[in-house]
Amino acid sequence: MELGEKIKRLRLQHGLTQEELALRCDLSKGFISQLERDLTSPSIATLKDVLECLGTDLRTFFSEPEEEKIVFGTQDVFDTRDEESGFAISWLIPNAQKNEMEPILLELCPGGRTVLDDPHAGEEFGYVLCGQITICLGDKAHKCKKGESFYFQPHAPHRLENHGKVPAKVLWVSSPPTF
């Protein structure tokens, strides 16, 4: 990526016009325009000033971003079991608690139940892969079977239970992460 293109991208991310950036840096709009089109090269001092106005510094500006991991496999999964409560959780994405949402694979044995989760901001979504579950939300219970999905805002204490005779498996996504 060219220097000018990168500066333009930062300027646009901050919602600034060329004129606004020029005013903040005590430069001309024409200079910013030429800089963004790689028609001129700034001095180090001028580049530092421009980057400071754009909320960054030389080191950050020139560092290569880490490549984002898109696909995750079995080697990335972390499993935990609670034999007493009859469930197993597989965290499908490592460090998902720092993301906007957290997907897990939940397995509930017959008679199994998740820990009661307190009300919190956000949303819960799930898709039942096999078996049947009951979503307990406050004082209400909602059945959900294979091929069905659920969605709710967790405004009351909630948990999933398996009252069936066969294991249930659920892809469950919480936003923000709470698992």
Percent pLDDT > 90 in the chain is 87
What gap in Å lies between CA 8 and CA 159, rounded to an integer? 48
**pLDDT value, residue 43:** 94
Which pLDDT band, with edges at 50, 70 and 90, does 97 fall under? confident
pLDDT tens digits along 136-176: 999 999 999 999 999 999 999 999 999 999 999 999 999 98
| Phi, psi dihedrals of residue 38, rounded to the nearest 5° | 55, 35
Q: pLDDT at residue 1 above 70?
A: no
pLDDT tens digits along 2-24: 899 999 999 999 999 999 999 99
pTM confidence score: 0.65
Kindly tell me the burial class for residue 13, based on how many C-beta atoms sit within 10 Å of its own C-beta (0-12, 13-18, 19 or more).
exposed
Domains defined for the chain, CATH in brackets: 3-62 (1.10.260.40), 74-175 (2.60.120.10)
